[in-house]
Structure 1
Amino acid sequence: MSERIPVKVISPVKVHRPDSDKHDNHYTPRSRIYVRAVSGALENFRRFFGLLFLGAFALLPWLQFNGQQAILLDIGSQRFNIFALTLWPQDLTLLAWIFIVAAFALFFITTFAGRVWCGFMCPQTTWTYIYTWFEEKIEGSRHQRIKLDERKMNADKFWRKFLKHFAWVAVALLTSLTFVGYFTPIDLLFVDFFTFSSGFWASSSVCFFTLCTYGNAGWMREIMCTHICPYARFQSAMFDKDTFTVAYNAKRGEHRGPRARKNTQEQNQQQGLGDCIDCNLCVQVCPTGIDIRNGLQYECINCGACVDACNGVMEKMNYPKGLISFTSETELAGGTTKIFRPKLIGYAVVLVLMTGLLVLEIMTRVPLELDVIRDRNSLYRETNEGLIENVYTLKVLNKSQQDQSYRISVAGLDGVQFIGDNLVHVAGGEVLNWPVSLAIDPNKLSDTVSEVKFKVELINDPLNTIEVQQATKFLYPDL
């Protein structure tokens, strides 16, 4: 117990702040962020992914499959149609597998490349950039927007603000209608909503999500990423020294400061200057308003806007690109990034395993379900022929999207008679309640409670052998 715990002395990190005498101070957390437009390879890549997922989001609910909406998550009917797959509440485990696979895919990507989901594919980021695009087209560049907000209200400022918010609301409304269209027939939703004939829940949902989209992408923006989204808080648990993140090479960039453009790197080094000219563009293009030169921060969403901005400056200065880049802590320290490392391999193995189990669950899923409910009014009754009769209701669930025919049979009790039609037809995605009775001579019963099995088998498709069984009890207490 007398052994002392060794203490490691860590030097404090020097935080570089933009010089307030040289730059306007619009980057504090409580100030509005005026994002500057940027162009470059990563920006083009981000726009491509944004348009790809935005197009998929907008088009998928309009697709038709077998004469109906291909993707319809009908909560009221407790039925999710996803092309040829129909999910019911009984398929909750399948939905759980889907969420587990999505979670481990996110963990794997984050461990490898940081918060690229936030920067390139997150809906909040995508819609924020859409709103920023309308802002730039209507109100002008970053500098023009700052000057516009500083001006007193006049006719020019009023119509620009009005047009901007009108565009924001229009985008939010179309987004909301499309989103709600995943849960109700989208073609009828558009017609009913604009003719004021939609139901209460559909109209309320559209208005609610319109308000959410308008508020999140128009007003809250980076607040959603820095204060509300939990992903920013627990992402560090998945980071390691070999994770690729947007980072500033301080060894190469410091000391920062202005210099003559004609100076060579050697001349700058003689003056004690690094490659960073302290232009502050990396801060101006950041959608969360941080200074990447201060090191890794949880607000960074790895969108790469600062990389494109810095590369543009380096190109104009005839310096090598990459002062700000997607790199790892190991590379910044002069080492080599280890791609194949235990943590990443572990996530990959679990992801592959979970994906395999999900595929297996889908492939082995039986598109038929049977539930047997005994008559609760009487345990049994005697027929005129002296037979003992039990009454049941069979709930036959056709999980497929095609109409099917089934044969019902019973087994497990010698001499039992099946009373009722044993051939049934069930429409696709429907539940059939089918009353049947079982009767038997009491002399053939050896116990007051006997087990019987109902079997339902598909008969209209000879290529598919589908059958389900459900055990129940046959009662005769007076035996």
Structure 2
Amino acid sequence: MSDLIPTREEQDGDGEVRYRMLYESEDKVYIRHIRGVFTRIRKYTGLPLLALFFFIPWFNIEGRQAVYFDLPTRKFHIFWSSFGPQDGFLLAWLLIIAAFALFAVTTWLGRVWCGFTCPQTVWTMMFIWAERICEGDRNKRMKLDAAPWSMEKVLRKGGTYGIWLFISVATALAFVGYFYGIRDLVVDLATFNAHPQGVFWVAFFTFATYMNAGFLREQVCKYMCPYARFQSVMYDQDTLAVYYDARRGESRGPRKKGIDYRAEGMGDCIDCYWCVQVCPVDIDIRDGLQFECINCGLCVDACNSVMDKMDYPRGLIRFTSEDELETGRTSFLRPRLFGYALVLLAMVGLFAQQVLTRSPIEAEVLRDRGARMYRESQGLIQNVYTVKINNMDREAHEFSIGVEGVAGYDYSLRKPREIYLQAGEIFAVPIRVSVPKEQLKRTKHDIYIVVQAVDKPELMDKHQTVFIGPKQ
């Protein structure tokens, strides 16, 4: 008994205390193939996302990969824009937007992300499709696994594992290609010239995809994904999720078509277990809302198909809310959902504004912080600065440096005659700003160092710094 964890104690009438393990190994889940509305929705949402994931790396924009995360140079190229370490706040902003989007969608539609677009679900469904193609539907797969090894079993299992491996390798190549360069990666692997790190990550993601979608499957959703654990704090009485209408369905039991089962006190549920057989996480939705449920809607399609065969109304299992089951209506305009949506729209708008108005030229200015805060020469007070220019544009430019400050001051600037930077190049240059001593009215005042592209004056960045002189 020492290896068991008493997560919950149950005491039967005989006084015996029972224990439950925190994790229990489970039998393989055999999913029945079903057709229906939500199955088609998953196809129409999953296939475009898969196409984008696999094919975007193969597109080029202006001579480079359309989406390329160049880690050695610390540059992220996304379509027509390039981002560097200085744009890290945009990534943080994007993650916050994703979090609020998750909160809003979960409050409104429950775990639809998990059921329709989560990579774990999408890849698992692809692997299940491969099983069905090679081994048949649910009953045939169960019989095949129970049968002794034969040539037919070897061929069918080999076909399944071969398709799994092909999908896993393609997934790993596409993912690593975003960081390595997909064309270089494929050529280097084919000619055995790939960098060891590239080979390692391709092998790693191949193995991870093969294991997660092939064998772990529902256990990732149940035990590894944190989303299932904290979703309850985002649900409310009006959240749309998959529910079983117990008032209509109970009591359950098999019956023959055409018999007045209601006169015998029976509900619409014929206890066929199709809702369980199609569930990818192997739960019985009739037991109520459970944290394992990913809102994939397969049980809805299965139940509706059975209701059609029995000439019963659809919707015994459906996307609805607790309030609708109890009162017959659902409130969509509720404060928390409205608040999430409002914050989300505001953040998306501000993020878009930042990206669209982001200048491809960035300048950083560091004032000389040596022992002498200023220099005096021939009646001039001089401050030395280091200007770091980052050309984030896709073209090379020549840059000029200017200075702006208090009106009435005569600023002179000593700098290199020409500063020419290639696309993506960063260059640091020292400059010296001078002001006649008799013009200084106070010890320090603000000035602006202006960096501007000579050929494109609209590409400009202005950085504020301090000019220091002798005490007045």
Shorter-chain TM-score bucket reads 0.7 to 0.9
**Matches for 1:276-425 after TM superposition, within 5 Å:** 276-373=269-366, 392-412=385-405, 417-425=412-420
For residue 39 of structure 1, the aligned residue among 23, 35, 39 is 35
Cα deviation, residue 399, structure 1 = 2.2
Structure 2 equivalent of residue 427 of structure 1: 422
- 8 A contact 2:364–2:463 mirrored in 1: no
Distance change (3 Å), C-alpha of 1:377 and 1:469: closer
1:466 partner letter:
M
Cα deviation, residue 419, structure 1 = 3.1
1:256 partner letter:
R
Tell me which moved more, 62-71 or 340-349. 62-71
Distance change (3 Å), C-alpha of 1:198 and 1:374: farther
Distance change (3 Å), C-alpha of 1:378 and 1:287: same
**Matches for 1:37-186 after TM superposition, within 5 Å:** 37-186=33-182
Cα deviation, residue 345, structure 1 = 0.9
Flag structure 2 segments of 5+ consecutive residues without an equivalent. 1-23
For residue 468 of structure 1, the aligned residue among 459, 462, 467 is 462
- 8 A contact 1:380–1:388 mirrored in 2: no
2:450 is the counterpart of 1:455:
yes
Distance change (3 Å), C-alpha of 1:335 and 1:395: same
- 8 A contact 1:417–1:438 mirrored in 2: yes
CA deviations 1:158-193 (Å, max 9, x no partner) are 232222222212111110111112222211111112
Task: Find the aligned partners of 1:330 and 1:186 in 2 and give their Cα distance.
Answer: 50
Structure 2 equivalent of residue 18 of structure 1: none
- 8 A contact 1:222–1:288 mirrored in 2: yes
Q: Secondary structure at the match of 2:261?
A: helix
Structure 2 equivalent of residue 228 of structure 1: 224
- 8 A contact 2:421–2:427 mirrored in 1: yes
Cα deviation, residue 327, structure 1 = 1.0
CA deviations 1:283-324 (Å, max 9, x no partner) are 010000000111100111010101111111111111111111
Q: Secondary structure at the match of 1:455?
A: strand
- 8 A contact 2:251–2:265 mirrored in 1: yes
Cα deviation, residue 242, structure 1 = 1.0
Distance change (3 Å), C-alpha of 1:373 and 1:344: closer
Distance change (3 Å), C-alpha of 1:241 and 1:369: same
Q: Secondary structure at the match of 2:462?
A: strand
Cα deviation, residue 461, structure 1 = 2.2
- 8 A contact 1:371–1:470 mirrored in 2: no
Cα deviation, residue 129, structure 1 = 0.2
Task: Find the aligned partners of 2:25 and 2:244 in 1 and give their Cα distance.
Answer: 21
2:453 partner letter:
L
Q: Secondary structure at the match of 1:57?
A: helix
1:195 partner letter:
T
Report the RMSD for the aligned CA atoms in angstroms: 2.8
Cα deviation, residue 362, structure 1 = 1.9
Task: Find the aligned partners of 1:401 and 1:60 in 2 and give their Cα distance.
Answer: 20
Cα deviation, residue 154, structure 1 = 2.5
2:337 partner letter:
L
Task: Find the aligned partners of 1:233 and 1:384 in 2 and give their Cα distance.
Answer: 69
Cα deviation, residue 436, structure 1 = 3.9
1:305 partner letter:
L
Cα deviation, residue 467, structure 1 = 3.0
Determine what percentage of the aligned residue pairs are the same residue.
43
Cα deviation, residue 366, structure 1 = 2.6
Q: Secondary structure at the match of 2:271?
A: coil
Q: Which has the higher contact order (CA 8 A, sep 6+)?
A: 1
Cα deviation, residue 391, structure 1 = 5.5
1:181 partner letter:
G
2:29 partner letter:
I
Task: Find the aligned partners of 1:351 and 1:415 in 2 and give their Cα distance.
Answer: 49
Structure 1 equivalent of residue 13 of structure 2: none
Flag structure 1 segments of 5+ consecutive residues without an equivalent. 1-27
Q: What TM-score does the superposition give when structure 2 sets the normalisation length?
A: 0.86
Q: What TM-score does the superposition give when structure 1 sets the normalisation length?
A: 0.85
